[in-house]
Amino acid sequence: MTVLVINSGSSSIKYQLVDPESGEALAVGLVERIGQGENGHLKHEVNGEKHEFTGAIPDHKVGMEKLIEFFGQFGPNLETSNVAAVGHRVVQGGKYFDGPALVTDEVEKKIEDLTPLAPLHNGPALTGIRAARELFPDTPHVVVFDTAFFQSLPEEAARYALNREVADKYNIRRYGAHGTSHKYISQRVAEIMGRDDLKQIVLHIGNGASASAVDSGHAIDTSMGLTPLEGLMMGTRTGNIDPAAVFHLERVGGMSVDEVDKLFNKQSGLLGLTGESDLRAVHELVENGDENARVALRMYTRRIAKYIAAYTVMLGGLDAITFTAGVGEHDDVVRADVIEYLKPFGVAIDEEKNAAHASSEREISTPDSRVKVFVIPTNEEVEIARQAMTLV
């Protein structure tokens, strides 16, 4: 039994054919530059062999047809690989979905209705779902929502101190994001430590970044909010900022709502402070004596540490901290700087283990650290595949 996992973006389709039991990816690929003339590109890898296509990919349906063709040419053939389900990642499930859902016309409509809460994500995901359903009409399709893991947030964590009638009318609350990753990591840590009563903090730190507090497998808080803008400082997003900055920029700067939206989401964070959104480039600036980059890096790690401290209080203690995603898995400097803030809590990491550039999961805390510290590669595709199988 396998699951074809699809993650559709506005001009791309990421995919994996996953064995949900072993977690093995039998094939992985990316269709990109969809709708960009002859510049369309498909990368496909199976059994260590890489295959590519460049040419016109006018829409997501053609992109799906092309990836099916590649499976047929370079194996395993989707028609004979016993595909039990097609699993789709969707960012925003709103208040409607607290777990995976079989795709129906009604579910599609709900995803479409929630597009204003995730305009960059839900629309493209829906396009991919519709294309896949057309090409796999007899296979169950399952959607897995990034927000579902955070439906368990207590009311005091999910609700904003906004007028209740307004908030309820417009569905304004904390939805969170990256929930599939937070769920996978928190479950994996529980397996490693052999306990289901852990108090843990998961740090999904990539170009987008989020933190979560998980108590006995249930999320009790998370840093992202109504949208992925809230919370930690990110590659191009501000993270937490006084909402009055919007009013100020409108009244004094003469900026429109769309201009402020673009400023906060795409032109701020590390990019806005240093000119670089990639932390590797920021580190180079720091090494070359760039003061703006040095301050930006301190801001970045300081915010992460503040969330850890706050969540430790909310959890009533702490057993484990886990770093995951691009930065969390590969940036030993960020990990070391964050943990340095936590010395008063008795948290310590082994410098040698932290600096090791390994891609496998590992513990990096010292034997006498009061809290276990892990680096674990996230695997959202496996989590999506396994959740899909629960309905199939």
Count Cβ atoms below 10 Å from residue 20 Cβ, excluding itself.
24
Domains and CATH numbers, the chain: 2-145 (3.30.420.40), 195-380 (3.30.420.40)
Torsion-angle region of 196 (φ positive above 0: left; ψ -120 to 50: alpha; else: beta): alpha
* Model pTM score: 0.91
Q: Which residue has the higher pLDDT, 153 or 124?
A: 153
Q: What is the pLDDT of residue 360?
A: 85
CA distance 28 to 15: 6
Catalytic residue among 146, 221, 319, 331: 146
Q: Is residue 359 scored above 80 in pLDDT?
A: no
Structure tokens at 149: 């893991």
CA 104 to each of CA 55, 90, 144, 216: distance values in angstroms, whole numbers, following the listed order: 33, 14, 13, 33
CA distance 327 to 321: 15
Contacting residues for 335 by C-beta, under 8 A, at least 6 apart:
323, 328, 349, 354, 364, 373, 375
Give me the mean pLDDT over the 76-90 stretch: 86
Give residue 187's pLDDT band: very low, low, confident or very high (50, 70, 90).
very high
Q: Is residue 235 scored above 80 in pLDDT?
A: yes
The helix or strand, by DSSP H or E, that contains position 46, with its residue range, turns out to be: strand 40-46
* 8 A C-beta contact, residue 136 and residue 392: no
Say whether 146 is catalytic.
Answer: yes
Give residue 79's pLDDT band: very low, low, confident or very high (50, 70, 90).
confident
Amino acid at 389: M
Q: Is residue 119 scored above 80 in pLDDT?
A: no
Q: Is 363 helix (H, G, I), strand (E, B) or coil?
A: strand
Structure tokens at 321: 């901290």
Give me the mean pLDDT over the 338-342 stretch: 97
Give me the mean pLDDT over the 6-31 stretch: 90
Q: What is the pLDDT of residue 358?
A: 75
Place of tokens 């569905």: 171
Amino acid at 150: F
Q: What is the pLDDT of residue 102?
A: 95
Q: Please tell me whether the peptide bond between 76 and the residue prior to it is cis, using omega within 30 degrees of 0.
A: yes
Report the percent of the chain where pLDDT is more than 90: 78
Q: Is residue 143 scored above 90 in pLDDT?
A: yes
Note the helical H segments in the chain. 60-74, 105-113, 122-135, 155-158, 164-169, 179-193, 244-251, 257-266, 269-274, 279-287, 291-315, 325-330, 332-341, 351-355, 380-391
Return the closest-CA partner of residue 127 out of 17, 45, 35.
35
| Choice among 74-88, 124-138, 183-197 with the minimum mean pLDDT | 74-88
pLDDT tens digit sequence for 254-284: 999 999 999 999 999 999 999 999 999 999 9
Give me the mean pLDDT over the 321-342 stretch: 96
Give residue 332's pLDDT band: very low, low, confident or very high (50, 70, 90).
very high
CA distance 107 to 179: 19
Q: Average model confidence (pLDDT) for the chain?
A: 93
Q: Is residue 182 scored above 90 in pLDDT?
A: yes
Sign of CA dihedral 215, 227, 239, 121: positive
CA 8 to each of CA 71, 90, 92, 313, 328: distance values in angstroms, whole numbers, following the listed order: 18, 9, 13, 38, 24
Give me the mean pLDDT over the 292-311 stretch: 98
Q: What is the pLDDT of residue 386?
A: 95
Q: What is the pLDDT of residue 64?
A: 87
